[in-house]
Amino acid sequence: MIDTALDFGKIVIADLILSGDNALIIGMAAAGLAPELRKKAILYGMVIAALLRILFAIVATKLLGIPGILFVGSLLLFWVCWRLYAEIRDDVDEQAEHALELAQDDSQGYTGPPRKTLAAALISITIADVSMSLDNVLAVAAIADGDTNMLVFGLGLAIVLMAFAATMIMKLLTRYPWISWLGLIVLLYVAGEMFYRGVFDMHTGIGPMMGWFEGHEIGKGGH
C-alpha cells in the first residue's frame, strides 16, 4: 500500500516537472492567436498533451517487458534527466509561466483579428508535443512498472492539473525551484533502478540475455 502511494507520488511529480516545455510551447502558440481563441487553445492544448502521454505510456508499459528494453530505457531516462537539468538551469518553467500569462492577457500578444485558426494552432502544438511527451512517458512507464491502472489514474490527475491549473503549476515551480530539483532526484533514482534491473534481471536484463552471468529475480523496488 505504501509502495503504491509512493509510486503514485513519483508519477505525479514526474508529470508535473516534465510539463514545463509543454506549457512553454502551448503558451507561445496561444499568444499568437486572437484573444478570443487563446483560452480554448490553452485548454485543448493541455488536454492533447495529457492524452498523448496516456496513449504513449500504455504502449511503453507493454514494451518494458521485452528483454533488453529496460536497459535501453534506462539510458534514455538518464538522457531525460540531463535535459531536465538543462531546463531547470535555463529557467524553462519561468519562461512557460510568462508565455501562459501573456496568452491569458487579452491586451498582450497578438491582438488583431484572427489570422490563424484554432485548429492550426492545435496541430502545431500536437506535433511539438509528440516528441516532448516521450520524455514524460518513459519516466511514468518506468515508475508504473506494468500497473496500467496506476498509470492511467496518475496521469488522469495530471490532465486535470495541467488543463485547469497550468499557470499555477508554472508559478509554483518558478517560486519553489527545489520542487524541480526534488523531481530530478526522483527521476535519477528511477533511472538508476531501471538500469540495475535492465542489467541484472534474469528475465529482461542484458547480462543474462548475453550470457555474461545468470542474473537474479528482481521484483518491484529492486528486490
Tell me phi and psi for residue 119, to 5 degrees: -60, -40
Alpha-carbon separation of residue 170 from 27, 88, 91 (angstroms): 11, 12, 11
What pLDDT does residue 111 have? 63
- Nearest CA to 189 among 132, 141, 142? 142
pLDDT digits (tens, 9 = 90+) for 141-161: 778 777 777 777 777 777 777
Q: What is the mean pLDDT of residues 25-31?
A: 80
Question: Which parts of the chain fold into alpha helices (H)?
Answer: 2-17, 20-31, 35-63, 69-89, 92-104, 118-144, 148-175, 178-200, 206-210
% residues pLDDT > 90 (the chain): 2
Burial class (CB in 10 A: 0-12, 13-18, 19+), 131: exposed
Kindly report the pTM of this predicted structure: 0.75
Mean pLDDT of 184-193: 89
Grid cell, residue 63, equals 514494451
Which phi and psi (to 5°) does residue 216 adopt? -150, 165
Query: Domain residues of the chain, as ranges?
Result: 2-68+91-180
Condensed to tens digits (0 to 9), the pLDDT of residues 67-126 reads 788 888 888 889 888 988 888 888 888 888 888 887 777 777 666 666 667 888 888 888
pLDDT digits (tens, 9 = 90+) for 209-222: 777 877 776 655 44
Residues 6+ apart with CB under 8 A from 172: 179
Residue 69 burial class via C-beta count within 10 angstroms: exposed 0-12, middle 13-18, buried 19 and up: middle
